[in-house]
C-alpha cells in the first residue's frame, strides 16, 4: 500500500511537470491554432540556462531560474516573431514543418554549445524531504516544489485569463481572431504575449524536470514535449483545466505503468490510454465539441 | 519521326507528366550505375543508395495520405517498422529452406507489405474517425506503441515450433540448439543482405505505378473529393470511410515495403527512436511538405535532396544539422509567407520582362 502511494506521489510529481508544459502548449494552440513542436526544446534551453548559471557560473539558484525564465520568454517571442509570424495565414502543415525546423535548430544550437554528452544537473530545490508514516513514505523536496508550482501556475493562469484585460483578449482571439480584431484587440501582440507566457512556463518546467530527473542532453526536451502535447490533447486541447488534468493523469499512468506492468511498455500504455480516450471522446476530456456547419 | 511527334502530342498532360516521373527514376538509375561502374562514387555515397530508395518510397507513400487523402499522419515509421520486422523474421526463418535469394526476397517483400497493410487497416478503422491534429497525435501514438511493443518481444524457434515471450530469451524455454530470432531490444540479427540498389529502384517504380494509377483513377478522384469537401463528397454518395481507409492502408502497405528494403540492408535490425520513432515520421513528412503536398515528383526530389544535403554538408561538421534547420525554416517562410510569395512573383516578373525584351 505504501509502495502504491509512493508511486502515486511520484506520478503526480511527474504529471505536474507535464501539466506545466501542457499549459504552455494548450495556450499556444488555442490562440495560434498551431502545434508548436519546438516547445519541448524551449524546456531544454531553459534547463541549460540554469545549468550554466548555477552549476557553471555559481549564481544562487533563484537568480539562475529567473535568468532562465527571462531568457526563455525572450526566446519564445523571438521564435514567434521570426519563424511563425510570417506564416500566420499559411497552411497548417507549413507552420508545422517550420516548428519542426525551429525544434531542430534549438537542438543543434545546444549541441554546438554543450556537446552531446549527458550533463548531470544539480537540483535547484533545497527544501528538506518530507517523511511520513514512520519513514516508509518519503516525499522529496523536488516533488513538493513541483506540485506547488504547478497548482500556483494553474490558478494564476486561470485568474489571469478571467480577470485581466490581456487575458480576456487572449480568450477573444482564441474564440475568433477576426472578430477580436474588429473589437480593437491587438491580435499580434496578444499572440506574442501567449508565446511569452508559454515559454516562461517551459523554462520553469525544464528546471523542475531536470531537478527530479537530473540528466540533461540537447534532446532532453523532445520526449517530455511530445508527452505534454499528448496531455494537452488528452484533457481537451485549448482548455487550461484540461491541460492540468491531462498532465497529472498522464504522469500517474506512466509511473504506475512503469512500476506494475513493464518499464519498457510504460510509454506504450500512456499512448494507448490516449487513443482510447480520443476514440470515446474525440475532443479530449474537457474539450469543446464543435458542430460542423454545412 | 513525324509520326512520333504527333503521337506525343496526342498524349494527355497527365500521361506526359507520368512518363517524365518514371523517366526521372530510370535516368537517375542509369546515371548512378555509370558512375558506379566508373568507380566515381565514394563508398559513403554508395552506402546511401538503398536508404535513398527507401526514403523515396516512404515520401511517395506518405504523400498519398497527407497530400491526396489530406490526413496528417505522424505514424508512418510505425508501418515501416511492421514491414521491416515481419519480413526480417520471415527471411531469418526461411534462410535454409529457400536458399534462392531472389524468391526469398520477393516473398519477404510481399509479406512485409501485406503485414503493414493489415496494420494500416487495423489502425485506420478507429483512427480515421478523427480529424486534423487529433488524427496526427493518434497516429503518432500508434507509431510509438508499435516501436515499444516490438522492443519487448522475444521470439525463438526449436524443434517443437515457435515460442514467444515478453520477458527475456531465457523464459522462452528453448531446447538445446534452439534459435532466438527476435531478441527484444537487440532486435533481429543476421538478416540476409538482399537489398540492392536495383531492387530499390524497381520498388520505387512499382510504388510510383501504384500511387499514380490510384490518383488518376475513379477511386483517386473520390479520395480527393473527400479531401476537398467531405460533406459534399458524402452527399453525392461517396463512401467516405471506405475511400479514406483505402488510401491509408495502401500508404501503410508501401511504407511496409520501404521497411523491407531497410531491414534487408542491415545485418542488425533494432527498433530505436531514430529509425522507427516519431522523428522518422516527421522526417518523411518534411520531405512531403517541402516537395509540395500532393506532388509525387516533388516528394521524390525532396527525399533525395534532403537525404543528401546533410551528407553534402559533412565538410561543415557540427554545423550541418544547424544549416539544415535554417534551410528548412527559410524554405517554408519563402514558399508560404505573403512576403516570400511576393518575392517569388517579382522574380517571375523579372524573368518574363527579360524574355520579352530579348524577343
Contact assignment for A272 to B278 by CB distance below 8 Å: no
Interface with A, mutate which of B153, B336, B342 (most A CBs under 10 A):
B336
pLDDT tens per residue across span B198-238: 999 999 999 999 999 999 999 999 999 999 999 999 999 99
Evaluate if residue A139 carries a pLDDT over 90: no
Q: Is residue B303 part of a domain?
A: yes
Evaluate if residue A135 carries a pLDDT over 80: no
CATH number of the domain where residue A13 is located:
1.10.3470
Instruction: Give the number of other CB atoms < 10 A from CB of residue A59.
Output: 16
Contact assignment for A97 to B293 by CB distance below 8 Å: no
Q: For B336, which of A87, A104, A275 is closest by C-beta distance?
A: A87
Q: Does A86 touch chain B (CB under 8 A)?
A: yes
Q: Percentage of residues in chain A with pLDDT exceeding 90?
A: 49
Average pLDDT value for chain A: 89
Quick one: cell of A143?
516533488
Q: Is A288 exposed, middle or buried (0-12, 13-18, 19+ CB in 10 A)?
A: exposed
| H/E stretch holding B272 | none
Can you tell me which residue has the cell 500556483?
Answer: A152
Confidence of residue B129 (pLDDT cuts 50, 70, 90): confident
Pinpoint the alpha helices (H) of chain A: 2-32, 39-50, 61-79, 92-114, 141-163, 165-175, 177-182, 187-212, 222-235, 240-260, 266-280
pLDDT tens per residue across span B244-273: 999 999 999 999 999 999 999 988 888 888
Predicted ipTM? Answer: 0.86
Q: Which domain holds residue B49?
A: 28-146+191-358
Mean pLDDT of the region B123-129: 89
Q: Is residue A231 part of a domain?
A: yes
**Given this model, what pLDDT does residue B351 score?**
84
Q: Kindly report the pTM of this predicted structure.
A: 0.88
Q: Which of residues 17-76 of B touch A (CB under 8 A)?
A: 66, 72
pLDDT tens per residue across span A83-110: 999 988 888 888 888 999 999 999 999 9
Q: Does A289 touch chain B (CB under 8 A)?
A: no
Lowest-confidence region among A123-127, B252-256, B332-336: A123-127
CA distance A109 to chain B (A): 7
CA distance A107 to chain B (A): 9
Confidence of residue B5 (pLDDT cuts 50, 70, 90): very low
Q: Is residue A262 part of a domain?
A: yes
pLDDT tens per residue across span B56-68: 999 999 999 999 9
Contact assignment for B141 to A265 by CB distance below 8 Å: no
Q: Which domain holds residue A237?
A: 2-280
CATH number of the domain where residue B125 is located:
1.10.3470
Confidence of residue A290 (pLDDT cuts 50, 70, 90): low
- CA distances to A262, B68, B73, B283, B319 from B62, in Å: 32, 9, 8, 11, 29
Q: Does B247 touch chain A (CB under 8 A)?
A: no
Contact assignment for B148 to A87 by CB distance below 8 Å: no
Q: Is residue B206 part of a domain?
A: yes
Q: Does B240 touch chain A (CB under 8 A)?
A: no
Q: Does A42 touch chain B (CB under 8 A)?
A: no
Higher pLDDT, A42 or A279: A42
Which residues of chain A make contact with B81, given a CB cutoff of 8 A? none
Structural domains of chain B, count:
1
Mean pLDDT of the region B95-112: 87
Structural domains of chain A, count:
1
Higher pLDDT, B24 or A1: B24
d(CA A202, CA A225): 9
pLDDT tens per residue across span B28-43: 999 999 988 888 778 8
Q: Is residue B38 part of a domain?
A: yes
CA distance B203 to chain A (A): 28
**Given this model, what pLDDT does residue B44 score?**
80
**Given this model, what pLDDT does residue A291 score?**
63
Q: Does B310 touch chain A (CB under 8 A)?
A: no
Quick one: cell of B6?
504527333
Evaluate if residue A214 carries a pLDDT over 80: yes
Q: For B133, which of A35, A91, A274 is closest by C-beta distance?
A: A35
Higher pLDDT, B174 or A176: A176
| H/E stretch holding A215 | strand A215-216
Q: Does B332 touch chain A (CB under 8 A)?
A: yes
d(CA A156, CA A233): 21
Mean pLDDT of the region A200-229: 90
d(CA B40, CA B26): 19
Amino acid at each position: 500500500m505504501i509502495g502504491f502511494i509512493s508511486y502515486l506521489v511520484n506520478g503526480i510529481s511527474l504529471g505536474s511537470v507535464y501539466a506545466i508544459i501542457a499549459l504552455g502548449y494548450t495556450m499556444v494552440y488555442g490562440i495560434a491554432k498551431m502545434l508548436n513542436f519546438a516547445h519541448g526544446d524551449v524546456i531544454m534551453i531553459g534547463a541549460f540556462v540554469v545549468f550554466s548559471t548555477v552549476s557553471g557560473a555559481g549564481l544562487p539558484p533563484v537568480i539562475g531560474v529567473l535568468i532562465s525564465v527571462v531568457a526563455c520568454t525572450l526566446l519564445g517571442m523571438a521564435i514567434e516573431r521570426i519563424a511563425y509570424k510570417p506564416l500566420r495565414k499559411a497552411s497548417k502543415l507549413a507552420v508545422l514543418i517550420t516548428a519542426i525546423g525551429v525544434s531542430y535548430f534549438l537542438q543543434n544550437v545546444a549541441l554546438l554549445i554543450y556537446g552531446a554528452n549527458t550533463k548531470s544537473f544539480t537540483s535547484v530545490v533545497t527544501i528538506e524531504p518530507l517523511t511520513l508514516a514512520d519513514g516508509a513514505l518519503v516525499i522529496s523536496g523536488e516533488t513538493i516544489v513541483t506540485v506547488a508550482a504547478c497548482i500556483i501556475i494553474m490558478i494564476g493562469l486561470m485568474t489571469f485569463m478571467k480577470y485581466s484585460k490581456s487575458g480576456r483578449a487572449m480568450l477573444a482571439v482564441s474564440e475568433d481572431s477576426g472578430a477580436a480584431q474588429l473589437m480593437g484587440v491587438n491580435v499580434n501582440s496578444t499572440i506574442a504575449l501567449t508565446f511569452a507566457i508559454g515559454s516562461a512556463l517551459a523554462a520553469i518546467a525544464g528546471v523542475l524536470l531536470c531537478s527530479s530527473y537530473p540528466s540533461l542532453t540537447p534532446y532532453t526536451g523532445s520526449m517530455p514535449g511530445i508527452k505534454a502535447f499528448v496531455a494537452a490533447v488528452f484533457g481537451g486541447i485549448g482548455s487550461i483545466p484540461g491541460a492540468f488534468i491531462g498532465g497529472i493523469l498522464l504522469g500517474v499512468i506512466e509511473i504506475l505503468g512503469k512500476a506494475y506492468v513493464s518499464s519498457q511498455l510504460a510509454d506504450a500504455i500512456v499512448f494507448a490510454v490516449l487513443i482510447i480516450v480520443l476514440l470515446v471522446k474525440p475532443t479530449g476530456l474537457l474539450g469543446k465539441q464543435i458542430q460542423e456547419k454545412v | 519521326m513525324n509520326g512520333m511527334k504527333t503521337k506525343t502530342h496526342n498524349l494527355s498532360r497527365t500521361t506526359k507528366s507520368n512518363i517524365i516521373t518514371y523517366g526521372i527514376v530510370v535516368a537517375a538509375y542509369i546515371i548512378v550505375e555509370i558512375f558506379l561502374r566508373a568507380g566515381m562514387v565514394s563508398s559513403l555515397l554508395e552506402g546511401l543508395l538503398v536508404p535513398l530508395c527507401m526514403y523515396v518510397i516512404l515520401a511517395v507513400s506518405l504523400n498519398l495520405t497527407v497530400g491526396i487523402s489530406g490526413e496528417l499522419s505522424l505514424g508512418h515509421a510505425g508501418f515501416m517498422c511492421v514491414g521491416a520486422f515481419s519480413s526480417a523474421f520471415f527471411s531469418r526463418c526461411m534462410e535454409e529452406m529457400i536458399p534462392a535469394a531472389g524468391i526469398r526476397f520477393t516473398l519477404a517483400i510481399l509479406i512485409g507489405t501485406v503485414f503493414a497493410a493489415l496494420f494500416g487497416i487495423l489502425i485506420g478503422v478507429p483512427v480515421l474517425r478523427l480529424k486534423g491534429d487529433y488524427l496526427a497525435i493518434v497516429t503518432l501514438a500508434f507509431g510509438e506503441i508499435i516501436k515499444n511493443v516490438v522492443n519487448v518481444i522475444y521470439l525463438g524457434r526449436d524443434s517443437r515450433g515457435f515460442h514467444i515471450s515478453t520477458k527475456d530469451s531465457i523464459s522462452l524455454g528453448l531446447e538445446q540448439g534452439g534459435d532466438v530470432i527476435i531478441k527484444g531490444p537487440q532486435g533481429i540479427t543476421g538478416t540476409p543482405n538482399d537489398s540492392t540498389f536495383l531492387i530499390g529502384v524497381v520498388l520505387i517504380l512499382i510504388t510510383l505505378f501504384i500511387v499514380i494509377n490510384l490518383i488518376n483513377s475513379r477511386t483517386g478522384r473520390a479520395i480527393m473529393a473527400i479531401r476537398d469537401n467531405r460533406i459534399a463528397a458524402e452527399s453525392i454518395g461517396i463512401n467516405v470511410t471506405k475511400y479514406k481507409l483505402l488510401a491509408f492502408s495502401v500508404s501503410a502497405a508501401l511504407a511496409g515495403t520501404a521497411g523491407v528494403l531497410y531491414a534487408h540492408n542491415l545485418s542488425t535490425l533494432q527498433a530505436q527512436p531514430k529509425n522507427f520513432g516519431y522523428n522518422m515520421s516527421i522526417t518523411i513528412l518534411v520531405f512531403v511538405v517541402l516537395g509540395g503536398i500532393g506532388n509525387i515528383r516533388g516528394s521524390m526530389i525532396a527525399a533525395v535532396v534532403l537525404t543528401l544535403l546533410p551528407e553534402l554538408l559533412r565538410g561543415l561538421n557540427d554545423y550541418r544539422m544547424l544549416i539544415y534547420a535554417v534551410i528548412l525554416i527559410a524554405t517554408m517562410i519563402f514558399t508560404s509567407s505573403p512576403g516570400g510569395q511576393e518575392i517569388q512573383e517579382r522574380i517571375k516578373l523579372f524573368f518574363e520582362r527579360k524574355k520579352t525584351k530579348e524577343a
